[in-house]
Amino acid sequence: MTQLPQYKQTGQTITFAFPDHQLQLSVITSAIIRVFENRGENGASYAIEGDKEQPTDFTIKDAGDHYELRTADLLVKIDGDQHVDVYDAAGNPLAVDYRGQRQLLDKGVDKDHEALVEAEGHSVSGSTTGSDSGYYQVVKSLTADEHLYGLGDKTGYLDKRGFEYDNWNTDNPAPQMENFTKLYKSIPVMYGLKNGHPYGLFFDNPYKSHFDMGKESPNYYFYSAVAGNLDYYILGGKTLKAIVSNYTYLTGRVPLPQKWTLGYQQSRWGYSVSQKNVQAIADGLKKYDIPCDAIHLDIDYMRGYRVFTWNNDQYEGDPKKFVTNLKKRGIKIVTIIDPGVKKDPDYNVYNEGVKKGYFVKSPDGTLYINKVWPGDSAFPDFGRPDVQKWWGHNDKFLTDIGVGGVWNDMNEPASFEGAIPDDVVFSDHDKPSTHKKMHNVYGHNMAKATYDGLKEYQRRRPYVITRAAYAGTQKYSTVWTGDNRSIWPHIQMMIPQLCNLGMSGFSFAGTDIGGFGSDTNPELLTRWIEAALFSPLMRNHAAMGTRHQEPWTFGEPTLSIYRKYVKLRYRFIPYLYDLFEKGTKSGLPVMRPLVLNYDNDPRVRDLNDEFMVGENILVAPIVERSQTKRLVYLPAGEWIDFWNNRQYAGNQDIVVDAPLDKLPVFIKKDTILPWGNPVDHISDTPDTEMTFKVFGNQASYDHYQDDGTDFKYQDGEFNHYTISVKNGQVAVNLPHYGFKPAYEKITVELPDKKVSLTFNAVKNDYEA
């Protein structure tokens, strides 16, 4: 037995003095403990803002061959060999360091053959070991019954076990399949269900990192990073939900969005070349009766891809007039903004950036240039607060024109002329640093700059969409999953990908409906709009050069089915908005894997083709070509088929019919759902009436209402309604009345009758 190190306690931090380094355990809350070893890196976290430490009771004791740190939720054991072993309060092992032999992956290739294998384009990668001097690993044991989730947008399945992943934000538009180790985002949080006991680990290190989730060996998983401090958070809690809630307590929760951002959005790379094209889309939406809240303008609206410019010539000289006219018709314009600033001495954004030294530089001090859409471009040094401010100020150009939101793309950052070298000088807050360190937080800092700019100049809840992100970006931005394809594997992937993003804090996320690259087809597009009925971000987007995929492109029956689901979406928007409001407090996602709600049920631990929306809606889309029937697993409880009210007992598989126009949806018995009015866009004028649908015979529901646009709700300008039904009796209450006017009329639809109540403005109450 190796001798135990001395330790010192300062507040809630215990520092263990090992011979070659110090290891700290900090109690943040009873369910969050930080493990930290300073490996020479300075600088504050990008993921975590402010001091999260809460006064917490804990004990530390010498247990002979190890120390035990105990809180109400966690037990952490530290021994003389620097093992960190985590248990829940009942003593169930959660994350225990692996002590056995490593079983390094044998890829069957020696140095001589490696070049040959790679010559045909195969990769012999795999980062079991690292050569960087700052490289380190954390290796934890796996049990036979252990399932792993999280990691943000990674490809593949819900349960990450058996795969390896890299955190290095990457724009690779090739078909993204389960063999892809990296995508656009780096969100190094993972969750485990070990013998049914949940926990989480969040590795807060922006450097390139790797997760081997038990691919190398079924006996362990490991995290490694090429540099940076060892800095991870142990997340405890009684349920997987509690753990996700704790993770989002730490890294922040998705703020309440503007309500219209939950509406349908239409996009395509290429529309924005001219006002005429965009107008034709708006006209098409009207003509074919497709409700819509936004049209997105891709890079072509700019003057030669210069950010914060507009090609006025193609917009009758007055984009503001155009944007205003569309807004009057209920359609907002969302404009893309990439980070690359065109190198052009006659362009003010470039000149100003150069003059003020706002762009990243080569190690020799000259401006660093790489190619993106505008050709040679400079890259803003987003780590710096003054650069963020400058960027946010540039957004005023767009908010003055009246855009509804800003879509940030290419911010991994992507570059067309080779990768940006590791040693290009990027700032870490105010200190010079490297691309190597700042790469994974580039999109994060750009999104934050955009959020701050929109907040200041638009005075509404900012609507930012970003492609690249780091842990915590959810505080500023919605995300989409980047360049998917119009292929069946990608509608399939949408479910686990959005579910894992949700568990990783990003509850406002979506995929390009219909698929971005390659040509879509009527059946795929139809199934995709069905599967995306509850996708928090609902946007159809496609690449230039692919077959068109607007709802009307394929005629009937695609058009009618598409319209049916977009219209249905608007009925569910009040429910989605309620979930977002609840999520600001719980940090729980809108779209959830079943395992999040039923972590005790072994059947749902790697269920990839069903998901839930909040607590009470279960969705089982068709994501396979030519399929018109499917098996649906219903977990515990009683379930009601949304389409025909047929009731099913849970804990069983049922076969459901799903012809082309049907998305299987089940509502948990004894649920009340708000049911939005039939509208063709979300209006800024408050609803005067609201309907609630009751599934079952006794239930209650909390409903939230505010102006859906600005921050006045933070000063109490919102309403909270409670709707309850018992033995056929309906009661509606208004426990918080801060937003006027409250609904004049509320209709509650029970299975056998409708009850209408009107607002009594004297009593501030509803009466039948």
The residues of the shown chain that bind ligand GLC, judged by CB under 6 A, are 269, 298-299, 336, 409, 467, 482-483, 541
- Measure Cα distances from 275 to 281, 301, 544, 571 in Å: 10, 9, 17, 31
CB of 173 to ligand GLC, least distance (A): 6
Q: Show the tokens assigned to 731.
A: 């009661």
Q: For ligand GLC, which is the closer residue by CB, 70 or 467?
A: 467
Q: For ligand GLC, which is the closer residue by CB, 184 or 565?
A: 184
Closest by Cα among 234, 235, 249, 373 to 300 = 373
d(CA 179, CA 157): 11
* Non-local CB neighbours of 408 within 8 Å, separated by 6+ positions: 336, 337, 338, 339, 443, 446, 447, 450, 464, 465, 466, 467, 468, 477
Helices (H), 419-506: 435-438, 442-458, 488-503
CB of 487 to ligand GLC, least distance (A): 16
- Measure Cα distances from 12 to 18, 57, 201, 210 in Å: 19, 9, 19, 30
CB of 750 to ligand GLC, least distance (A): 45
Q: Show the tokens assigned to 354.
A: 């150069």
CB of 626 to ligand GLC, least distance (A): 29
Rounded (5°) CA angle 724-725-726: 125
CB of 545 to ligand GLC, least distance (A): 11
CB of 758 within 8 A of CB of 767?
yes
Q: For ligand GLC, which is the closer residue by CB, 100 or 173?
A: 173
CB of 696 to ligand GLC, least distance (A): 42
Catalytic residue among 483, 512, 578, 707: 483
Closest by Cα among 482, 538, 548, 488 to 513 = 538
Residue 412 annotated in active site = yes
CB of 200 within 8 A of CB of 246?
yes
Q: For ligand GLC, which is the closer residue by CB, 374 or 551?
A: 374
Helix (H), strand (E), coil (C) string for 516-575: CECCCCHHHHHHHHHHCCCCCCEEECCCCCCCCCCCCCCCCCHHHHHHHHHHHHHHHHHH
* Non-local CB neighbours of 729 within 8 Å, separated by 6+ positions: none
Residue 409 annotated in active site = yes
Q: For ligand GLC, which is the closer residue by CB, 85 or 409?
A: 409
Catalytic residue among 79, 153, 231, 412: 412
Q: For ligand GLC, which is the closer residue by CB, 265 or 434?
A: 265
Catalytic residue among 164, 171, 409, 610: 409
CB of 630 to ligand GLC, least distance (A): 31
CB of 746 within 8 A of CB of 689?
yes
Q: For ligand GLC, which is the closer residue by CB, 336 or 576?
A: 336
CB of 424 within 8 A of CB of 436?
no
CB of 305 to ligand GLC, least distance (A): 9
Shortest Cβ contact with ligand GLC: which residue?
A: 269
User: 3-state class of 412 per DSSP?
Assistant: coil
Across 562-572, b (16+ Cβ under 10 Å) vs e yields: bbbbbbbbbbb
Q: For ligand GLC, which is the closer residue by CB, 223 or 373?
A: 373
Which residues have a catalytic role annotated?
Answer: 409, 412, 483
